[in-house]
Each structure stands twice: as C-alpha cells, then as structure tokens.
Structure 1
Amino acid sequence: MNATSAESPPPAKPPLWQIVPTADYERPTDSQPATLQRRWRALGRLLLGDDKGEAAPARAEADLRALPQLRLANLVPPIDWAPAARALGAPDEDTHAPVRLFIGQPYCDHAATLAHWACTHDAVVLTPPDSAQILAANQRWLDDLAPAKGHPWVLPELERCFLRHASGLELLRGFLARALSGALGPGLIGCDSWALAFIERIWPLPGTPRLTLQAFDGPALTRYLMQANRGHVRFLSARSGKPLLPERPADGKADATAAEESTCPELRQLAAHCRGNPGLAWHYWRQRLRAAPEHQPQEQAEEAPHDPPAGADRERLAAADEVVWVAPGIETPTLPAESGEDVAFLLHALLLHRGLDAEALGALLPIPDARMHSHLLRLRALTLLEHDGARWQVAPLAYPTVREFLRSRSYLTDGF
C-alpha cells in the first residue's frame, strides 16, 4: 500500500434533526423479519394456546406500577424543538419564492419550532385572527399586516386563520394572496398537516417550498431517547428483560453509529407505528414506562455486593443501577362500533383545525348542541379526546385509531 495514501474517513452520519421537502419525507416501515416473527408468534398462540405461544415475560404488567407525573417529567422531558428551528436555516435560503411553508404533523409543535426560529432571526411574529374575526371576515386584521422592513415575518399557525365554514375562509384567502405575491416580504408560514390538506383544496400553492421535519426511524428515535435520558437510567423491556437503549457514552453524546447498530426491534416498531412522527412517539414511550414494586429496591440491595465502591464510584454505580421497565404495549383506545357520521364529522373537524372549543364546534358542525356535547363527553371518557381547558383535541394515543377510522370512510387525511 502506498505510504502516502490514507484511508478515506467514513461517511458522515446525517444529523438527527433534518428539515426536508415534504416530497422527501420517508416514512419508516417495520422490518420484514420482525413482522414475520410477530406473525409466527401469533400463529403459535392460536395453535398452542395463549400460555404456550411465547416465553413468559420478564415482568408481568400486573407486577409493575405507573410512575408519578413528576418522575415521568424527569425521565421524558418535553421535546426541545430548537434543533428543528436551527435546521430550518436562514430566511434567505430560498430566494426564488417569497414564502416558505413549514408543515408540522399532529403533536409535533411547529408553532414552538417557528417561535425559536423567529427569535433567532429577529423575525416579526404575526398573530392569527380570533374566531369572531374569522367568521365576520374582519378586514382590519388583513389591513394591519404590513412588510417589516429589514426583517422576515413568521405566521406560526396558519390553521388558526380559517374555519371550515361558508363565512370562515375569506381572511385565509386574503392572507395567502398577499403573502404568496411577496407583498409582505420574505416570510415563513407554519401549518398543521391536516389543515394544509384542506387548504390546498381551496387555494393551490404551486411553487411554494414545503418543508417538514424528516421522519424519525428506529435509529433516530433511539438516538433521541439516548440524548433525552437525564442520568444513567436503564430502560428494560418488560417482555424480554433486555435494555431498550444502549448505554449512554461518558461524554453524554448519542453516537449515530451506535444508535444504528443497537436499535432494538421494539423501537423500530414504535417508529413505524407512529409513521415517523417523533411527537407521537414521545407520548407512546412516556405512557409505557413503569416502575417495579416498592420492595424491588430492597431486593436489589440484598443482591448487591456487601462492599460496594465508595465515593463518586458508589454514586455512579447507584445511578447506573436505576431501572425503569417499559411495558410491551399499551391498550390503544378504540372507537365504539356504532360510531356514525356525527362522530366522524366531529373528529375530522378537530384534526383539520388542530383542536376547537365547544363554541366553534357548534358553529361548524350540523349537530345539535346537546348531542354534540354528549359525543364530546363520551369520547373523552373513552380516552379518545382530551380537553386542555380551552380546546377539545384528539388524544395522542388515539390518533392512529382516529386517522384510520377517517381514512376508511374516505375522509380527507393529511399527507403523512
């Protein structure tokens, strides 16, 4: 070998947070071997009985307990969307179009992402009109929009600028006409993916760059969870007893190569189930975390060496020995078999607008108020909906069920 030649460095791994054109979004799929294995186990349970189809779990669900909210908040902190904002780049990267669209999936906080971006780039943040202004087609909201000389502008939530109503679209049309013509100067519009699917039916957006956060596949989800792990906590599968996350490096950085090589089937399946949506995967992961019974720490202490290391080594060992169990799955809410068009209208409206208050729902839906409130309360009792004090929304864990319900009835769905 030529002494002057040098081995070429390995190709750089892609960053965890990537902003790509929506056409380049790559939804992860479950690996074929893992799918075949699950089908084989299901066949075994069918032929041999529930107790012989597969090995007993390492920890039975009944033997584990839910974690308190404070502990969950520490183990699974809210997603920091600042890295996604940095991946959006500078405001002048697309000079051929005055406006860029940033599309966010449900539970991926595109408004928070654009708030970070606006702060970084000294952008003017536009406030959407309220429901009364929208239904009254109050032109004052449009008249108050003016170019900010020397500054880009940001509208974080385009879905808040319209209502699916005969009187609820005029302000949206007026805003898009001004923004896309360049009359407001360079800008960035955030929009929910379901709202965009509806908006494109009434106002095509040719030539406008559409960007989104690239899907999180199994390795990316593993890498994110490694980074989010505050401290040395071992997350063990309640099914197999094996770690679901590789050991965190001493420098605290989650290496992409290590995440790729050690991604477990459970996280690949979770990423595929969530269609690459990291916000949704965050909710699923959080809800699956469990703790051992109260006597478990004592049992571990009795099995530990009688003369453990002292000082910093002892603290490090104690931190490393902390165990959190991950339930093999959680029961996904299901829609009642008798769910009809009223329920479909209601759920579709909530997704198109990323949540609505009861007053807006009453104005948009052809459902008597008493019946609508009955639907809302029943769906919340079934954990299909949740109410944050202002708006009704589809609950995160119910989203895959609701999306499939609407798709099967040929309702308009988002593009993800």
Structure 2
Amino acid sequence: MKRTPLVQSLIHQVQTWFSQAKQQATEPEDVLKDAPDELLLELEALTQELPVPPAYQDAIHQALTKAVRRWQDSPEAENHLVLMSPPCEPLARILTTVLKDWSGEDLEILHPLQDFNRPADPLAIPAQLRNALENRQEDTEDDTESDSEDPEPADKRQILVVPALEHCFLRAIQGWQGVEYLQNLVVQDTSRFWVIGCTSWSWAFLDRVCHVSAYLEQIESLPELSGEDLQPWLEPLIQRVDKTLPEESSCADQTPWDALAKLSRGNSAIAAQLWINALGVRHEDLPDPDDPDDQQAPVPLHSRKPILPNLPSLTPIDRHLLQSLLIHNRMTRSHLSLSLGESETIVRSRAQLLHREEVILRRRGYFSINPVHYPRLRSELGSNNFLVGES
C-alpha cells in the first residue's frame, strides 16, 4: 500500500522519537544540566592558582640545566634556550614560576621584559625593547659599583628571560622588527644566557618572515601531559567539587584521565577547561526557587564525558582573526585591526560574534582563544591552508 505524505511524516516523527529515547537511555549523562555559572567561574579562577604541572617543571629544569652548563663550559656553546608550547598554555607564567625554583650560586636571573606589553604602534616595539634591556644593563652595572666595597663580591653570570616572544611583534607589515632586534642581540651578546618563551604558532610565523630558527637554534618543547600527569594536577579542583570523572571509558585499556589527555592533546589549559565544562547537575537536584531554605543547600555535581565543542560557521575574516590570536595568544581590538588590515568596526563586529559563540574570550581589553576550541580550530585552519604551528 502506498504511504501518503502524512503517514510518512508520522512514521518519521515516531522513528526520531524512538531514536532520541534510545540515545537518552544509553547516555544518561545527557540529562545533566550545565553547572551553575558562579561555580564554573570560581573553578576557572582556581585554575589560575594551580601549580605548574610537575612534568612541565621537570622538562624545563632539565633542558635549562643542560643548556646553561654547556654555555658555562664552552664559549662556542649556544647562549640561549627557546622553550616552546602550543597556544593557550600560560607559558610566560609557567616560566616565571619555574625559574623562581631554579638557580645557581654563580647565576643571576633577570626579568627585564616581565611587564612588557606590545605598544599601540608596533613600529615602536624595537625602541621599547631596547630601552627595557639597556635600562636593565645600566641598573645592573650601578648595583655592581655600589657593592664594590663588599669584601667578597659575587661574580655572577646573567640569565635574561624573555617570557613571551609573541608579545614582541605584531603580524603586520614591518611588525616583526622587534624580533629581528632581539635575535641579533642574542647572537651578539654571548656574555649572557637568554631564556625565551614562544608559542609554536608564533615560531612558525617568525620562521617564515625573518628566519628566526637560523639565529635561535636551541629549542625545547613542553611535553604533552598524560592522564597520570593530569589527575594529581587537577586534584584541587576535584576536592572543590568532591567529584571525579566517570569511571566508564570507551576503551577498556584507557582510563578517563587518559581519554582527557588525548582529547586535550596533553595541553594543561585545554584539559582543565574540558574537565570544568563536563560538570553538570541533575534537574531534580536543583533548589526550589520558592523555598528559601532549599536555596542554601549545596547542589550535587556530576561529571559527563568531556567533549570538544563544535565550531560555528566561520567567514574568511573570522579565520584570519583567529589565526592572529593563535599567533599572539592575546591581542587588543586595535592590534587585531592592524593585523587583519580591516577597520575596527568590522573587527568589533566579528569579535563580538565569536565572543558570543564562546570561541574567543575577552579579559581586560584583550581577546584570546577559548582553549577548548583550539583542537578543532587547528584542524579547521590547517584544512583551509593556513600556516599553523606544530601541535
């Protein structure tokens, strides 16, 4: 018997209903609602207080110890170490924290660019870098002279830290003169050792435009974190909510923490955000808005399986904007406008849309990439023939 359009429509609706019911029955975590915004914000703030993952600390300590020792022992050794990470990792904070615990009796660690911010005019970057570094050298010489009466003066060799090379240039015409100044200075000033932090996307861009790897050849990358690294590192957040990730796993030989490490590409910032986003509450546990006493009761939290969010539809301008943010880690709207060669009006419009879709974040006037979107963004930009950094 031939089915009428009405019958076919009813059959399709029933099949869809059964399919959805089956999916809900097999995936009970989908019935969870998102955790309260205030709790998510509190947990995100706590991630800023987490210690540097021990795997990062060990990798930096080992690489730095070997590189500095070679430099001290041989005048022909490289006088620098570039430490590289994927975008979204707070590499500048990681370096500053780790270097506080690393020192030598005959070494003095200096941070002349710790508070360096890219000036409004990118052409002024070389002058500001020069002023910061020369002023530090003059201050050091003055301190040496003032301590000259010390009966046992310390003859310490200096280590200079450039925490974020991506802030020392702008992806724009003539915007990388600051990096050219720095790379020449490092090669010429062999009396000091340089520790330079840089994202892999910045490095790929700089190598294309000014051949930075020909000047700075000694490079180490942060290791990818494993599930065994992530679980103890996230323990303060786990204690805060008194929950862990679900024990179920799609693979018999893979723990939930291994799955989180794989999903996040071993990136601490991505992993932390994925773990927070996976938290949810059951509808029946929500407080009764009409019961004042119920409002005070804590809401039990549960964990869903972490997933990477989908990207919205992106325009060509969106892709260029996102690439700039991945190169620089954070940018003001005016610098985005200069980098894209577009008016601030257009940049404001696209940035607002991407911010509304939670693809980018905005804090204190700076835009940055939402870490959980990085894995899909890398694939999206790579498939559209954009220059991307190593994962």
| Same fold, TM-score > 0.5, yes or no | yes
Are the structure 2 counterparts of residues 412 and 101 from structure 1 closer, same or farther at C-alpha, using a change threshold of 3 Å?
Answer: same
- The answer on 1:99 being equivalent to 2:80 is yes
- For 2:35, the equivalent position in structure 1 comes to 66
Identical amino acids, percent of aligned pairs? 20
After TM superposition, the structure 1 = structure 2 runs for residues 215-226 of structure 1, keeping only pairs within 5 Å, are 215-226=224-235
* Contact 1:81–1:109 under 8 Å retained in 2: no
- For 1:175, the equivalent position in structure 2 comes to 182
The 3-state SS of whatever aligns with 2:66 is: coil
Aligned length: 325
- The answer on 1:200 being equivalent to 2:203 is no
Shift of 1:157: 0.6
The 3-state SS of whatever aligns with 2:321 is: helix
Structure 2 counterpart of 1:212, from 198, 221, 231: 221
The separation in 1 between residues aligned to 2:360 and 2:40, in whole angstroms, is 24
The separation in 2 between residues aligned to 1:52 and 1:74, in whole angstroms, is 33
- For 1:151, the equivalent position in structure 2 comes to 158
- For 1:230, the equivalent position in structure 2 comes to 239
For residues 222-241 of structure 1, the C-alpha deviation after alignment (integer angstroms, 9 at most, x for no partner) is 3433576437934253xxxx
- Matching residue's letter, 1:56: T
* Contact 2:325–2:369 under 8 Å retained in 1: yes
* Contact 1:105–1:192 under 8 Å retained in 2: yes
For residues 283-336 of structure 1, the C-alpha deviation after alignment (integer angstroms, 9 at most, x for no partner) is 100111123456599xxxxxxxxxxxxxxxxxxxxxxxx963112345714221
Are the structure 2 counterparts of residues 231 and 388 from structure 1 closer, same or farther at C-alpha, using a change threshold of 3 Å?
Answer: closer
For residues 39-78 of structure 1, the C-alpha deviation after alignment (integer angstroms, 9 at most, x for no partner) is xxxxxx99x94444685334442x4451453477469644
The 3-state SS of whatever aligns with 1:153 is: strand
Structure 2 counterpart of 1:284, from 256, 260, 274: 274
Q: Which has the higher helix share?
A: 2
After TM superposition, the structure 1 = structure 2 runs for residues 203-352 of structure 1, keeping only pairs within 5 Å, are 203-206=211-214, 208-226=217-235, 229-230=238-239, 233-235=242-244, 237=246, 242=247, 264=255, 266-293=256-283, 295=285, 324-330=301-307, 332-336=309-313, 339-352=314-327
After TM superposition, the structure 1 = structure 2 runs for residues 395-410 of structure 1, keeping only pairs within 5 Å, are 395-410=370-385
Structure 2 counterpart of 1:162, from 164, 169, 188: 169
- For 2:342, the equivalent position in structure 1 comes to 367
- For 2:295, the equivalent position in structure 1 comes to none
The separation in 1 between residues aligned to 2:243 and 2:129, in whole angstroms, is 52
The separation in 2 between residues aligned to 1:74 and 1:210, in whole angstroms, is 33
Are the structure 2 counterparts of residues 340 and 73 from structure 1 closer, same or farther at C-alpha, using a change threshold of 3 Å?
Answer: closer
For residues 248-302 of structure 1, the C-alpha deviation after alignment (integer angstroms, 9 at most, x for no partner) is xxxxxxxxxxxxx9852x43333222222122111100111123456599xxxxx
* Contact 1:159–1:353 under 8 Å retained in 2: yes
Moved more, 224-233 or 346-355: 224-233
For residues 372-394 of structure 1, the C-alpha deviation after alignment (integer angstroms, 9 at most, x for no partner) is 21111111111112111221112
After TM superposition, the structure 1 = structure 2 runs for residues 14-29 of structure 1, keeping only pairs within 5 Å, are none
Structure 2 counterpart of 1:185, from 155, 172, 192: 192
- Matching residue's letter, 1:281: A
- Matching residue's letter, 2:61: G
The 3-state SS of whatever aligns with 2:387 is: coil
- Matching residue's letter, 1:117: V
Structure 2, unaligned runs of 5 or more: 1-14, 71-76, 141-155, 288-298
The 3-state SS of whatever aligns with 2:196 is: strand
For residues 4-60 of structure 1, the C-alpha deviation after alignment (integer angstroms, 9 at most, x for no partner) is xxxxxxxxxxxxxxxxxxxxxxxxxxxxxxxxxxxxxxxxx99x9444468533444
Shift of 1:152: 1.2
Shift of 1:348: 0.9
- Matching residue's letter, 1:167: Q
- For 1:142, the equivalent position in structure 2 comes to 130
The 3-state SS of whatever aligns with 1:328 is: coil
The separation in 2 between residues aligned to 1:184 and 1:165, in whole angstroms, is 32
The separation in 2 between residues aligned to 1:408 and 1:143, in whole angstroms, is 42
The 3-state SS of whatever aligns with 2:318 is: helix
The separation in 2 between residues aligned to 1:177 and 1:394, in whole angstroms, is 31
The two structures have a TM-score, normalised by structure 2, of 0.71
What's the RMSD between the two structures over aligned residues? Answer: 3.5
After TM superposition, the structure 1 = structure 2 runs for residues 77-92 of structure 1, keeping only pairs within 5 Å, are 77-78=47-48, 79-81=50-52, 83=54, 84-85=56-57, 87-89=59-61, 91-92=64-65
The 3-state SS of whatever aligns with 1:197 is: helix
Structure 1 counterpart of 2:112, from 126, 135, 139: 126
The separation in 2 between residues aligned to 1:296 and 1:367, in whole angstroms, is 46
Are the structure 2 counterparts of residues 233 and 415 from structure 1 closer, same or farther at C-alpha, using a change threshold of 3 Å?
Answer: same
* Contact 1:107–1:280 under 8 Å retained in 2: yes
Are the structure 2 counterparts of residues 71 and 351 from structure 1 closer, same or farther at C-alpha, using a change threshold of 3 Å?
Answer: closer
Shift of 1:85: 3.7
